[in-house]
Amino acid sequence: MKSGSNLEKVLEAGHFAVTAEIGPPKSASARVIEAKGEQIGHAADAFNVTDHQTGVVRLCSLAACAILRRMGLDAVMQMLCRDANRIRLQGDVLGAVALGIRNILCLSGDHVKFGNHPEAKRVFDIDSVQLVKAVKDMRDERKFICGEEVGSEVPLFIGAVENPYADPFEFRAARLAKKVEAGADFIQTQAVYDVPKFRRWMEEVCAVGLDKKVHILAGIIPVKSVGMARYMQRYVSGVEVPDEMIRRLEGAKDVREEGIRIILEIIEEVKEIPGVHGIHVQAVGWEEVVPEIMERAGLLPRPVL
Amino acid sequence: MKSVTRQKNLEEIIRMLGKARKVSLVGCGTCPTMAETGGLREVEEMARALEEREVTVASTTVLPVACEPLPDEARNGFRSLLGEAQAVLVLSCSLGVRMVSDYTDLAVLPALDTLFIGREAEPGFFVEECAQCGDCLLGDYAGICPIVHCAKSLFNGPCGGSVDGKCEVDPGLPCGWQLIYDRMKALGRLEELSVIRPYKDWSKSLSGGARRMRIPVPPPEKKSEEG
């Protein structure tokens, strides 16, 4: 075991894993995090907390993950290259481990332009591939980027993200290979709606044997309304929402129910794609739906290891 | 084209002038003339705009190359041009502003924002090409700088926001990584993009005060023993 995290145990035991995202508040309220943990804590193996997602200031991932750990939940801390240099990033890795966090997700981060401080200076001292490598070297070589020794173990299960829908499409599998070479243990993907295109990407991934080296969790974003689906189709770069899905939602009497059915169908399909080891559910601002979706997908109860 | 500049808005210029009601204007005959931000015409336009705001313009002049030092013998002439001015407003890049500060004890103020080092990609359209990071990467990326052309300055490939060759930050902005990918592919060098890039040494960039560079002076030649 690299970290002994629940997520690592579930994946290494060969179970189909479920991670779920918890959105932190724009406040200093630990209670908000705890309430979400209480509400959906039984419905996934580990819980990602976003870190100033889309460049909006919120309670930070490190603190929120520590709160979840206090409740006995497995947490995935998200770390961004956008807001911190290599000194801060490596220091936060140590802090996370000290607070019992055992999973880390390394991202470059949405551009500040999309956030609530678009005038902020973006850092990008290192990029997400390099962050993965830095954390792996801290864990496996006990070395900081500068080469100095890390004075303790750094047991972490290292994650990265990939967007199967972004361009250049021919380079996406190669980029994933780079993240795996850098040290990623698991990958959480951008939201999957266009299943055939995701399947094509997975075929490329499997063709070069990456599925044997890394656990891939397909991204799932439940759709609450026609407006949300349209917004994602138009404005969220790299998310492909098929027109057919929007037509289904428009024609539905009960949009919420139809949205859940669509998501259940997607989960059913991605489960069967070779190389997919789990799903990552990002119910942005709608976390309470996660237990229902997992129950109806036949993914509850979660394994206890 | 070297320094690409843009005029500050008049309100900001008026704010900078403060109590100074009499100014001299200095333009530049090189980059700002090409960018139409600080050539002869723009200096005259600025003079008119300031007069309308009840700021007296004591003199206007356009230095051929504001970033080149004025010969010592020309500096007295330059100073006499300033006449009764209480401040000097310079329509050049920041380097020109800095040079003019050497010629006078008056307040020297920038009328332009220095945007970037770029090229005129098409007439009237300037594109940044260099962030002056101090450690040129163009050789590894087929001549396209990822620090400048990628909105996140990524070293190892495009982020998830690259769609149809465009950057998510602005639909009018080409994805730098698509450009790099296409060019590396054309050059038959795609394999090189699979190598994880080393951490960048930013200490050569804007990290340690003003950067300096001295051209090494060769040691004086030893006189021949026999001579």
Give the whole-angstrom CA distance, residue A56 versus residue B46: 40
Question: pLDDT for A176-229, tens place per residue?
Answer: 999 999 999 999 999 999 999 999 999 999 999 999 999 999 999 999 999 999
Q: What is the DSSP letter of A149?
A: B
Q: Is B187 left (phi over 0), alpha (psi -120 to 50) or beta?
A: alpha
Question: pLDDT for A243-299, tens place per residue?
Answer: 999 999 999 999 999 999 999 999 999 999 999 999 999 998 899 999 999 999 999
CB contact under 8 A, A129 and B155: yes
Question: pLDDT for B135-167, tens place per residue?
Answer: 999 999 999 999 999 999 999 999 999 989 999
At residue A174, φ and ψ (nearest 5 deg) are -65, -40
- Using 50, 70 and 90 to split pLDDT, how confident is the model at B171? confident
Contact (CB, 8 A) for A19 and A49 = no
Give the whole-angstrom CA distance, residue B192 versus residue B212: 33
Segment among A200-204, A235-239, B78-82 with least mean pLDDT: A235-239
Question: pLDDT for A88-139, tens place per residue?
Answer: 999 999 999 999 999 999 999 999 999 999 999 999 999 999 999 999 999 9
Q: Which helix H or strand E contains A101, and what residues bound it?
A: none
Contact (CB, 8 A) for A153 and A172 = no
Cβ contacts (< 8 Å) between B145 and chain A: which residues?
Answer: none
Q: Which helix H or strand E contains A219, and what residues bound it?
A: strand A215-220
Average pLDDT over residues A157-164: 97
What lies within 8 Å, CB to CB, of B29 at 6+ separation is: B39, B40, B62, B63, B64, B65, B66
Per-residue confidence (pLDDT) for residue B227, from 0 to 100? 46
Residue A259 distance to chain B (closest CA, Å): 25
Q: Which fold has domain B3-115?
A: Rossmann fold (3.40.50)
- Using 50, 70 and 90 to split pLDDT, how confident is the model at B223? low
Give the whole-angstrom CA distance, residue B79 versus residue B62: 14
Q: Which helix H or strand E contains A27, and what residues bound it?
A: none
Relative to beta strand B112-122, strand B125-130 is antiparallel
Give the whole-angstrom CA distance, residue A33 versus residue A26: 11
Per-residue confidence (pLDDT) for residue B83, from 0 to 100? 86
Per-residue confidence (pLDDT) for residue B206, from 0 to 100? 77
Say which of A109, A124, A133 has its CB closest to residue B196. A133
Give the whole-angstrom CA distance, residue A128 versus residue B196: 11
- pLDDT over threshold 80, residue A167: yes
Relative to beta strand A75-80, strand A103-107 is parallel
- pLDDT over threshold 90, residue B218: no
Give the whole-angstrom CA distance, residue A80 versus residue A110: 9
Residue A124 distance to chain B (closest CA, Å): 6
Per-residue confidence (pLDDT) for residue A6, from 0 to 100? 98
Average pLDDT, chain B: 93
| Domain-wise residue ranges, chain B | 3-115, 131-202
- pLDDT over threshold 50, residue A20: yes
Say which of B169, B178, B194 has its CB closest to residue A168. B178
Give the whole-angstrom CA distance, residue B54 versus residue B22: 9
SS3 A175: helix
Task: Tell me which residue of A214, A103, A56, A184 sits closest to B156, measured CA to CA.
Answer: A184
Say which of A111, A127, A174 has its CB closest to residue B155. A127
| For chain A, percent of residues with pLDDT exceeding 70 | 100
| Domain-wise residue ranges, chain A | 6-296
Interface test with A, best of B156, B169, B177, B179 (most A CBs within 10 A): B156
pTM here is 0.94
Q: How many other C-beta atoms lie within 10 A of the C-beta of residue A57?
A: 12
Higher per-residue pLDDT: B209 or B126: B126
- pLDDT over threshold 70, residue B224: no
Q: Give the chain B residue nearest A165 (alpha carbons).
A: B160
Q: Omega before B110 cis (within 30°)? A: no
Relative to beta strand B22-28, strand B87-91 is parallel
Angle, in degrees to the nearest 10, between helices A30-40 and A61-70:
50
Give the whole-angstrom CA distance, residue A145 versus residue A126: 11
SS3 B187: coil
CATH number 3.20.20.220 given to A6-296: yes
Question: pLDDT for B28-51, tens place per residue?
Answer: 999 999 999 999 999 999 999 999
Give the whole-angstrom CA distance, residue B111 versus residue B127: 21
Give the whole-angstrom CA distance, residue A171 versus residue B154: 15
Cβ contacts (< 8 Å) between B152 and chain A: which residues?
Answer: 81-82, 108-109, 111, 122, 124, 127
Contact (CB, 8 A) for B69 and B104 = no
CB contact under 8 A, B175 and A181: no
Give the whole-angstrom CA distance, residue B196 versus residue B192: 9
Question: pLDDT for A44-79, tens place per residue?
Answer: 999 999 999 999 999 999 999 999 999 999 999 999
Please return the burial class of A269, using the count of CB atoms within 10 Å of its CB with bins 0-12, 13-18 and 19+: middle
Contact (CB, 8 A) for A238 and A190 = yes
Per-residue confidence (pLDDT) for residue B226, from 0 to 100? 55
Average pLDDT over residues B68-90: 94
Helices in chain A by DSSP H: which ranges?
A: 6-12, 30-40, 61-70, 86-98, 128-136, 169-182, 195-207, 226-235, 243-251, 255-271, 290-296
**Structure tokens that stand for A9 in this block:** 């145990």
Say which of A108, A122, A168 has its CB closest to residue B159. A108
Task: Tell me which residue of A245, A153, A139 sits closest to A192, measured CA to CA.
Answer: A245
Give the whole-angstrom CA distance, residue A167 versus residue A163: 9
Helices then strands, counting H and E runs in chain A, come out as 11, 8
Q: Omega before B218 cis (within 30°)? A: no
